[in-house]
Structure 1
Amino acid sequence: MLNPQSDLILVAGGAGFIGSHLCRALLDQGHSVVCLDNLQTGRAQNLEGLSSDPRFEFIEADVVAPLPASVTERTARFRRIYNLACAASPPQYQADPEHTMLTNVVGSHHLLRLAEASSARFLLSSTSEVYGDPEVHPQREGYRGWVNCTGPRACYDEGKRAAEAMAFDYARLGRAEVRVARIFNTYGPQMHPDDGRVVSNLICQALSGREITIYGDGSQTRSFCYVSDMVDGLMRLMESETVGLDPVNLGNPVELTVSELLAEVLDLTGSRAPIVHMPLPIDDPRRRRPDIDRATALLGWQPRVGLRDGLERTCAWFARELAETTPQRVPA
């Protein structure tokens, strides 16, 4: 039971991959945390070990709907609001594009109004997808992007762009103090095994011995940030006093091809599973790499976990996860 007198931090989407790590980190710092999630893509097991903490509370609700009384009745106690509510992998957010768009726009509106009413600082987790299939490389915050506004990824890309516009309008009008993080590819333990992102796909396929799927020829590039570094960046950004009305890229600037990532995964897992090439998805970015000069200058932030170390930790976690969920054969 939360202390009825304590200040609170709200983490919307707190049962998701990054959100659950953020909840743990905030608790480790001594904060009281309310986690709000509809469990559409978040998982209750991501919160294992937190429910027994008297400074933590989970509320199952959808930010598209009006916020429940269990949240609004505590309006005056919220000091920080993190909005991480939205499916983040293409297969998940394309499965219900209407809900994805509404989560980004209507959900952000509900949380911004809560921030205004509570005088809480608000952080929006935006995305590198606002840059689309970029024509500028690496991507700096001032780049306006090359987004297909009518394509199958638009529900997420344009939803996040609209959420950013709304957040900054609230800031310009003095209605809320906002921070906007543009998150690049993030990986680590507690990713959903079936979320369709490249790291989880490759590791799970390699560990299970299934065919390993590479989309396109594998020459497209990404930059992968380990989740603990991402959470550190989000928390630094929330507490920064110098950001103003500018978004901040958070990601690891080390760029590698999908084929290079696969080679690392195969080396770590020892897998000899066959590799199958599939057509590249529509609007899939050819190159993706953040310019993090702003984050370094304003937040003193840089990623610290190297790819090899991060992949080792992630492979070990997925190996345990798959062992627990794979049915065991009964000897004849």
Structure 2
Amino acid sequence: MKRVLITGAAGFLGSHLCDRFIKEGYHVMAMDNLITGDLKNIEHLFPLSNFEFYNHDVSNFVHVSGDLDFILHFASPASPIDYLKIPIQTLKVGSLGTHNLLGLAKSKGARMLIASTSEVYGDPEVHPQKEDYWGNVNPVGPRGVYDEAKRFQEAMTMAYHTYHGLETRIVRIFNTYGPRMRLNDGRVLPAFIGQALRGEDLTVFGDGSQTRSFCYVDDLVEGIYRLLHSDYAHPVNIGNPNEITIGEFAEEIIKLTGTDQKVIYKELPTDDPKKRQPDISLAKDILDWEPKVSRAEGLKITYEYFKSLSESELYKKEHNNFEQYIKK
């Protein structure tokens, strides 16, 4: 039985990856410090003999006993509320955490895949974004702690590949959604659905003309699984190229939820990307991958998940530090 270490395993994406690798017959070692993850996302796996969980911060030295075939590094805050609240930890998990895990992969002879992000492109001047675009990132802006952590992560991973000959893979993840997202983490989709469920008006930052492209989590996991088992070491975009404006998306959520809230507009946060759409030509070519789940289908599943949450979860307020993020 092959063994895989998944960091950030109690988070949204990490938990779905745990499910996939269990389904594929792997022994899964899940690791998370629970700073943003939640054990409820993986508690259904605890009874399994081929699943084990470690409460650990990968920014510290990482030790795993026995053989190890793969490492998937998904430990990182991924929403503005998180990385505005814990900027130092965000930088450390992308730098020290990545370095520790690359060292572990080297010592074990394991293949390592890192979760990078479309945020490496910043507020892009090229549209849609291809892997050979270097980006337009403000390193000292409020988003810089996340954007630059991921850019450093890519550079460190590629250095281990070229200098040590380590087997590495880099996935650049575009906006992804589905069950187990945190309802109030500041990202646009759960924010809209949460507001609709609470009977609040939907808040659009900016004039609503900025765009996003939403990929359902099952499609993303399939792309990651194929990339891990491919022979391609350079970054690959995984996302859904079906682009929509935030204004149109707000109206789509109102229609989905059957509510009659208004859309209200607030000032656009500093360095917020105006356009976000992946060019997935490379993924189609080398992985024979493209998303299968339509936005209508995926949103219906996600909405049913959010509707099932308890009232305390629905009304839970995350610490919101957006004021420092808004242009002055």
- TM-score, normalised relative to structure 1: 0.93
51, 62, 71: which is aligned to 2:46? 51
Partner of 1:96: 86
Deviates more, 1:265-274 or 1:300-309: 265-274
Alignment of 1:109-120 (within 5 A): 109-120=99-110
- In structure 2, the partner of 1:180 is 170
Paired residue for 1:311? 299
SS of 1:172's partner is helix
Report the equivalent of 1:275.
263
Check the 8 A contact 1:205/1:211 in 2, yes or no: yes
Q: How many residues align?
A: 315
Q: Which amino acid aligns with 1:276?
A: I
Query: Equivalents in 1 of 2:44, 2:274: separation in Å?
Result: 39
Question: Could you tell me whether the CA contact under 8 Å between 2:230 and 2:287 is conserved in 1?
Answer: yes
The aligned amino acid for 1:53 is L
Instruction: Assess, with a 3 A threshold, how the Cα gap between structure 1 residues 143 and 55 changes in structure 2: closer, same or farther.
Output: same
Task: List gaps (5 residues or longer) in structure 2.
Answer: 316-328
Q: Counterparts of 1:1-332 in structure 2 under 5 Å?
A: 6-67=1-62, 71-74=63-66, 77-241=67-231, 243-244=232-233, 246-323=234-311, 325=313
Report if aligned partners of 2:183, 2:314 keep a CA contact under 8 Å in 1.
Answer: no
Shift of 1:268: 1.0
Q: In 2, Cα distance between the equivalents of 1:229 and 1:98?
A: 31
Alpha-carbon distance in 2 for matches of 1:219, 1:308? 20
Deviates more, 1:42-51 or 1:137-146: 42-51
- Report if the CA contact (8 A) 1:264-1:308 is conserved: no
Task: Write the deviation string for residues 232-291 of structure 1: whole angstroms up to 9, x where unpaired.
Answer: 1111000002x13x2000000010001111111111101112332111110000000000
User: Under a length normalisation based on structure 2, what TM-score does the superposition of the two structures give?
Assistant: 0.94
Q: Distance in 2 between matches of 1:210 and 1:25?
A: 36
> For residue 66 of structure 1, what is the amino acid of its counterpart?
F
- Classify the secondary structure of the residue corresponding to 1:249: strand
RMSD: 1.2
- Alpha-carbon contact 2:202-2:250 (below 8 Å) kept: no
Query: Which amino acid in 2 is paired with 1:29?
Result: E
Q: CA deviation at 1:224?
A: 0.3
The corresponding residue for 2:320 is none
Post-superposition CA distance 1:155-210 (Å, at most 9, x none): 11001000100000000013411000000000000001111100000011111112
- Percent identity between matched residues is 45
- Write the distance in 2 (CA, Å) between the matches of 1:326 and 1:141: 37
Q: Distance in 1 between matches of 2:141 and 2:243?
A: 26
The code of the aligned residue for 1:73 comes to S
Q: What is the one-letter code of the residue matched to 2:309? A: E
Distance (Å, rounded) in 2 between the aligned partners of 1:321 and 1:78 = 36
4+ runs deviating over 6 angstroms: none
Task: Tell me the distance in 1 between the aligned counterparts of 2:102 and 2:60.
Answer: 14
Does the 8 Å contact 1:181/1:249 carry over to 2? yes
Task: Determine the C-alpha separation between the residues in 1 that align with 2:56 and 2:262.
Answer: 42
What residue is the counterpart of 2:321 in the other structure?
A: none
Q: Structure 1's 129 and 58: CA in aligned 2 closer, same or farther, altered over 3 A? A: same
- CA shift, 1:323, in A, is 4.8
Q: Which runs of 5+ in 1 are unaligned?
A: 1-5, 328-332
Deviations 1:274-321 (A, max 9, x none): 332111110000000000000010000000000000000000000001
The CA distance in 2 between the partners of 1:52 and 1:294, in whole Å, is 39
